[in-house]
A and B are shown apart, each in its own frame.
Chain A
Amino acid sequence: MSEKPNYALKFTLVGHTDAVSSVKFSPNGEWLASSSADKVIIIWGAYDGKYEKTLYGHNLEISDVAWSSDSSRLVSASDDKTLKIWDVRSGKCLKTLKGHSNYVFCCNFNPPSNLIISGSFDESVKIWEVKTGKCLKTLSAHSDPVSAVHFNCSGSLIVSGSYDGVCRIWDAASGQCLKTLVDDDNLPISFVKFSPNGRYLLIATLDNTLKLWDYSRGRCLKTYTGHKNEKYCIFANFSVTGGKWIVSGSEDNLVYIWNLQTKEIVQKLQGHTDVVISAACHPTENIIASAALGNDKTIKLWKSNY
Chain B
Amino acid sequence: MEGDGSDPEPPDAGEDSKSENGENAPIYCICRKPDINCFMIGCDNCNEWFHGDCIRITEKMAKAIREWYCRECREKDPKLEIRYRHKKSRERDSNERDGSEPRDEGGGRKRPAPDPDLQRRAGSGTGVGAMLARGSASPHKSSPQPLVATPSQHHQQQQQIKRSARMCGECEACRRTEDCGHCDFCRDMKKFGGPNKIRQKCRLRQCQLRARLSPVTPSESLPRPRRPLPTQQQPQPSQKLGRIREDEGAVASSAVKEPPEAMATPEPLSDEDLPLDPDLYQDFCAGAFDDHGLPWMSDTEESPFLDPALRKRAVKVKHVKRREKKSEKKKEERYKRHRQKQKHKDKWKHPERADSKDPASLPQCLGPGCVRPAQPGSKYCSDDCGMKLAANRIYEILPQRIQQWQQSPCIAEEHGKKLLERIRREQQSARTRLQEMERRFHELEAIILRAKQQAVREDEESNEGDSDDTDLQIFCVSCGHPINPRVALRHMERCYAKYESQTSFGSMYPTRIEGATRLFCDVYNPQSKTYCKRLQVLCPEHSRDPKVPADEVCGCPLVRDVFELTGDFCRLPKRQCNRHYCWEKLRRAEVDLERVRVWYKLDELFEQERNVRTAMTNRAGLLALMLHQTIQHDPLTTDLRSSADR
Which A residues form the contact surface with B (CB < 8 A)? 8-15, 30, 39-40, 42, 44-54, 56-57, 59, 84, 89-96, 285-287, 301, 303
Interface residues of B: mostly helix, strand, loop or mixed? loop
Count, A-B residue pairs, CB within 8 A:
110
Quick one: which of B629-643 are within 8 Å of A by CB?
629-634, 637-642
Q: Within the complex, which residue of A48, A95, A96, A287 is in contact with B411, where a contact is CB–CB below 8 Å?
A: A48
Quick one: which of B270-308 are within 8 Å of A by CB?
276-277, 280, 283-284, 294-302
Question: Across the interface, which residues of B come within 8 angstroms of A287, CB to CB?
Answer: 640
Q: Taking A11-B630, A12-B630, A15-B627 as contacts, is the C-beta distance between A45 and B410 under 8 angstroms?
A: yes
For the complex, give the distance between the alpha carbons of A39 and B640 in Å.
Answer: 28
Tell me the minimal C-beta distance from A62 to chain B in angstroms: 13
Quick one: which of B384-421 are within 8 Å of A by CB?
405, 408-412
Which B residues form the contact surface with A (CB < 8 A)? 276-277, 280, 283-284, 294-302, 405, 408-412, 611, 615, 618-619, 624, 627-634, 637-642
Question: Across the interface, which residues of A come within 8 angstroms of B634, CB to CB?
Answer: 8-10
- Contact at A50–B619, with CB atoms within 8 Å? yes
Question: Across the interface, which residues of B come within 8 angstroms of A54, CB to CB?
Answer: 284
For the complex, give the distance between the alpha carbons of A33 and B312 in Å.
Answer: 31
Q: Taking A11-B631, A13-B630, A50-B411 as contacts, is the C-beta distance between A56 and B640 under 8 angstroms?
A: no
For the complex, give the distance between the alpha carbons of A286 and B277 in Å.
Answer: 36
Q: Within the complex, which residue of A47, A51, A92, A301 is in contact with B300, where a contact is CB–CB below 8 Å?
A: A92
- Contact at B299–A84, with CB atoms within 8 Å? yes
Tell me the minimal C-beta distance from B292 to chain A in angstroms: 12
- Contact at B410–A50, with CB atoms within 8 Å? yes
**Closest chain A residue to B640 by CB distance?**
A47
Q: Taking A49-B630, A285-B640 as contacts, is the C-beta distance between A57 and B410 under 8 angstroms?
A: no
For the complex, give the distance between the alpha carbons of A90 and B303 in Å.
Answer: 13
A-B CB proximity, top 5 nearest: A15-B628, A51-B628, A12-B631, A14-B629, A56-B280
Question: Across the interface, which residues of B come within 8 angstroms of A59, CB to CB?
Answer: 294-295, 297
For the complex, give the distance between the alpha carbons of A15 and B243 in Å.
Answer: 40
Question: Across the interface, which residues of A come within 8 angstroms of B641, CB to CB?
Answer: 47, 285
Q: Which of A53, A59, A95, A286 has the most CB of B within 10 A?
A: A53
**Closest chain B residue to A282 by CB distance?**
B640
15 of the cross-chain contacts (CB-CB < 8 Å) are A11-B630, A11-B631, A12-B633, A14-B629, A30-B412, A49-B630, A56-B283, A56-B295, A56-B296, A57-B297, A59-B295, A90-B611, A92-B300, A96-B299, A285-B640
Question: Across the interface, which residues of A come within 8 angstroms of B632, CB to CB?
Answer: 10-11, 49
**Closest chain B residue to A80 by CB distance?**
B294
**Closest chain A residue to B412 by CB distance?**
A45
- Contact at A52–B619, with CB atoms within 8 Å? yes
Question: Across the interface, which residues of A come within 8 angstroms of B628, CB to CB?
Answer: 13-15, 42, 51
- Contact at A53–B619, with CB atoms within 8 Å? yes
- Contact at A92–B298, with CB atoms within 8 Å? yes
- Contact at A10–B298, with CB atoms within 8 Å? no
For the complex, give the distance between the alpha carbons of A14 and B628 in Å.
Answer: 5
Q: Within the complex, which residue of A13, A51, A303 is in contact with B640, where a contact is CB–CB below 8 Å?
A: A303
Question: Across the interface, which residues of A come within 8 angstroms of B409, CB to CB?
Answer: 48
Question: Across the interface, which residues of A come within 8 angstroms of B283, CB to CB?
Answer: 56
**Closest chain A residue to B294 by CB distance?**
A59
Tell me the minimal C-beta distance from A104 to chain B in angstroms: 16
- Contact at B631–A14, with CB atoms within 8 Å? yes
